[in-house]
Structure 1
Amino acid sequence: MVIIKIIRLFLLCIVFTFSFSFVAKASYTSEEFQESLFEIGYKSIYEALNEGNEYFNQEIVLPVQLPPVAFTHSFGRFENLDGEVNDKYDIEYVNKDTPHNHYKISIQPVKYGIDFRGNLIDQRIKLSDGNEAIYSTKAVNGFNVLVFEKDKFQYILSVDKRISDIATHEILAEIANSIK
């Protein structure tokens, strides 16, 4: 079950990396770029957030802070798949002209969260609320992730490895700490 979730997350990140790279290289206008994401189920962050809040019957709290890189677009998607196991809320921040400026937040109930263990963990970080976050450069190909729990949800903050010198594990921890 855990392996399936990790593989699914890995494949999703690969699809987004290639799709954003293709879209950016195609020199689409901002409107065309936006439409291409709406066609695959993305919508405004807050429209998708409202869907997730209703579905989970609990307010999903988002981080206030973002990584210090330029993004041109942000999108949200609430995935309500068969059963509850894979239901989650995703946010993507991308730059249509700079595909490696890619940041993602995935939020799902803790009871269905991904279990990171062993050699996937690079570092354990203590957050300001006392919870522990796990930082990994190996769990998802092409992305560094910070995983933590807050208010019965598991949060996965992912940044493209190519901006890891700017969006460091310290920055990701600051972002996690910005959730109040």
Structure 2
Amino acid sequence: MKKIFPLLLLFVMGFTIETGDEKVFANSKETTPYYEDHSVRVGYKTVDEAVSEFEKNCDCVVKLPAMIPDLKFTHEFGAYYKDHKDRQKDLLQIRFVNREQKNNIFKIDVRPSKVSYEGKEYTLQDGSKGIYVEHHIFHVFVFEKNNLQYIVRIDKNASDIDPSKALMDVANSVN
């Protein structure tokens, strides 16, 4: 045991000398946390970057909701997925998530093509129609504005808010 300790100490000192004066901590703010790093690796970027890319490729103007559900979010990400065969299937995705409260998820998908949904029909403030659907994971509201289809979703376990009202408020805030 006495011979191992000096060797271990020498190894640790050698490691410190090799790395110089730089200190590395597990919770360093200078490193990119896994959550953000993983999002970037799967194609997410800032919302502004994703919207700009979608608008440029689809030759359209995206109006994002002026309000989002009354939930706490720690992160927001965007992604643009281009369908090389059919531009009508291009997709803009925006995600609001909470690192600590995993069920606080709000999603906005925007696409140039229209996909039909079956559910309860609601009339928005501008007279347009929207469809509310209860999916097994999300509450979903689908509506059209500015020649684009919007699909907004809240996780079913997000909170005790009224999901249909919250999603209609979001839809009504798109001008």
Pick the TM interval, shorter chain: 0.7 to 0.9
Change (3 A) 1:31 1:167: farther
How far apart are residue 114 of structure 1 and its match? 1.8
TM-score normalised by length of structure 2: 0.78
How far apart are residue 164 of structure 1 and its match? 5.7
The corresponding residue for 2:115 is 114
> Is there any run of 5+ residues in structure 1 with no aligned partner, and where?
1-28
> Is there any run of 5+ residues in structure 2 with no aligned partner, and where?
1-28
* SS of alignment partner, residue 46 of structure 1: helix
2:91 is equivalent to residue 96 of structure 1: no
CA RMSD of aligned residues (A): 1.7
1:107-158, Cα deviation, whole Å (9 max, x unpaired):
001xx222113xxx1x2111011101100003xx301100001111000001
The corresponding residue for 1:33 is 35
Identity %: 31
How far apart are residue 85 of structure 1 and its match? 4.0
* SS of alignment partner, residue 162 of structure 1: coil
- State the distance in 2 between where 1:37 and 1:155 align: 22
The corresponding residue for 2:47 is 45
Q: Is the 8 A contact 1:147 1:155 kept in 2?
A: yes
TM-score normalised by length of structure 1: 0.76
* SS of alignment partner, residue 158 of structure 1: strand
